[in-house]
Amino acid sequence: MEALALAQEVVVLPTYTAGERGEVSPGELSAKIAEGLRRQGVEARFLDKEEALAYARATAAPEDLWLTLGAGDVTELAWRLVHEG
């Protein structure tokens, strides 16, 4: 979480483990990450992919930098934000 401490805002999507066993669901893990960031003073919210895309479309300005990190199809969000208007 320290790597995100300087971000103006962080949107956390459902976070999945890499095969580890545990009793925390993707939603619970993501909510904990967002809460931990908020405790550090970072504006953070937990959204699913479609909510995140709608949020980005509603709030993104031309000078903004949006960074998508993750495995799987999360990079699709950046493409959709740019190409689907």
How far from the centroid of its chain's Cα atoms is residue 79's Cα?
15
The number of distinct structural domains making up the chain is 1
Boundaries of domain holding 11: 2-83
> How many distinct helices (H) and strands (E) make up the chain?
3, 2
In tens, the pLDDT along 26-77 reads 788 899 999 999 999 999 999 999 999 999 999 988 898 888 888 778 888 8
Q: What is the DSSP letter of 47?
A: -
pTM: predicted TM-score of the whole model, two decimal places? 0.82
Contact, 4 vs 10, CB < 8 A? yes
Sign of the Cα pseudo-torsion (55, 57, 59, 65, in order): positive
